[in-house]
Amino acid sequence: MAMKMLVAVKRVVDYKAVVRVKSDESGIETTHVKMSMNPFDEIALEEAVRLKEKGVVAEIIVVSIGNAASQEILRTGLAMGADRGVLIQTDQEVQPLEAAKILQTIVKQEEVQCVILGKQAIDSDNNQVGQMLAGLLNWPQGTFASQLHFQAEGVSVTREIDGGLQTLFLKLPAIITTDLRLNEPRYISLPNIVQAKRKPINITPLESLAIPPSSQIKTLRVSAPEKRRAGVRLENAAELVDRLKNEAQVIA
């Protein structure tokens, strides 16, 4: 029997955009900067759509947490092949634990059998929401997934670890977070973009979920990395060794 799957997506600064720090060093400047779906979440959604095409998934619900502009990301998800969207609307920063609690609420409301999301968002790189959501739901989890094979009893997850590859078997319901090598997201055609405009998006204010804010992280200062110094071309290994010795003495 085909299952209902939830995919969480986040609106982030496009990975090709030039990132600038705000003048007060309170964060990253997002005004007039191209925003897009988090690349890891895009991979998660692509996998969900492929599973739907195989008959493994009956319905895909794409969920985002953010301001009104996040509807653009949900429309992109609907154009990729999701059936309907859910926006938990808020103008406040949502930290990982709070995001996990929000998704926990949506999972219970929708009665989904599997949640798939990117292993991390490229803006904060926390890599926490999937694991926290699994803990809150008490569901098995397979993180950093590079291959998925669904069976009647559950799902086989091949995941990337420091020592190579590890394969886990998870009984459903389960949480899966995706790595880069799982798939390559498809090009969205114009007819699918037009069709996505007719698919429903349910907008729910965060306040209506009655989830208390759980601010655990405080950003003190954001600064740009130091610019790299120009490289120096050396003629041979002896010159390299001599330079390393001299620079080591200066540093010492």
Share of the chain above pLDDT 90, in %: 51
d(CA 17, CA 11): 13
CATH number for the domain spanning 20: value is 3.40.50.620
Is it the case that residue 61 has pLDDT exceeding 80?
Answer: yes
- In this prediction the pTM is 0.83
Burial of 86 (0-12, 13-18, 19+ CB in 10 A): buried
Question: Domain span at residue 136?
Answer: 3-251
Question: Which residues on adjacent β-strands are paired with residue 154?
Answer: 171
Contact status, residue 12 vs residue 120, Cβ threshold 8 Å:
no
In this predicted structure, the answer to whether residue 252 has a pLDDT above a threshold of 70 is no
Q: What's the structural domain count of the chain?
A: 1
* Per-position DSSP letters for 86-107, written without gaps between them: EEEE-SS---HHHHHHHHHHHH
The answer, yes or no, to whether residue 1 has pLDDT greater than 70, is no
Q: What is the pLDDT of residue 89?
A: 93
Distance between CA atoms of 78 and 200, rounded to whole angstroms?
Answer: 9
Amino acid at 195: Q
What local confidence, expressed as pLDDT, does residue 249 receive? 58
Percent of residues, the chain, with pLDDT higher than 70: 97
Is the per-residue pLDDT at 51 higher than 90? yes
In one letter, which amino acid is 23?
Answer: S
* Residue 241 pLDDT > 80: yes
What is the structure's pLDDT at 92?
A: 84
pLDDT at 115: 95
pLDDT tens track for 91-133: 888 888 999 999 999 999 999 999 999 998 888 888 889 999 9
Encoded amino acid at 236, one letter: N
